[in-house]
Structure 1
Amino acid sequence: MVLETFPLAPNAACRDITPDARGFRLTYRSPEGAEREVHEDERLPESRNCPLDYRLGGMMTYGGGGPDAVHVALVIVLSQGFEGPNGRWIAVPFRP
């Protein structure tokens, strides 16, 4: 998995708190080297609470790795909290 961040316009509640809000893109790279985008933010949902950055925390696979397996990328969202940075997890499911 490749995680990239990029600037996105903050929502109205975050405009003064984090004017440099960020979105993220996840790209799956197969063992053969083929790449496929599995997620890209088009806008920032209010549930992310003014995101500043993202980190790829891990991967899980359900279904034994066969053709019907579902992969889940675990992404932590870093946002500005009352007493410093907060972290919350996002699960991004996809099939390879």
Structure 2
Amino acid sequence: MSGLPYPNSKGKRRVIKSISGEKVAFHVEDEIVIPFGLGKLIYFQKMKWEADQRTEYRFTYYMSGHKPGRKGKWVFGQYSLMIPAKELSMLLAEAKARGWEGI
């Protein structure tokens, strides 16, 4: 899907359903995207929650669609990690301390 432009959420408002079932909104302040393998895009997004203005980060992905109606389009991966900066820093620091390659 090399000719298809990558989805761009920077500056956009998104609404999701929380684990308790309520709708919550956030804004994507910035995002980094890298292609991964065949037909997959990995995203790292900086987001701000509307309710309390806290900043968190999200790892998510898009995949190339294969089913009818989605073929030839980027399809959002519905399962994403959302993590506060403190916990992200702790994870990355521990990975670095353990000598994980590339960290």
The TM-score bracket by the shorter chain reads: 0.3 to 0.5
More strand by share: 1
What TM-score comes out, normalization by structure 1 length? 0.36
Return the TM-score normalized by structure 2. Answer: 0.34
Structure with the bigger RCO (C-alpha within 8 Å, sep 6+) is 1
Could you say which structure has the higher helix fraction?
A: 2
Compare CA radii of gyration and give the structure with the larger one. Answer: 2
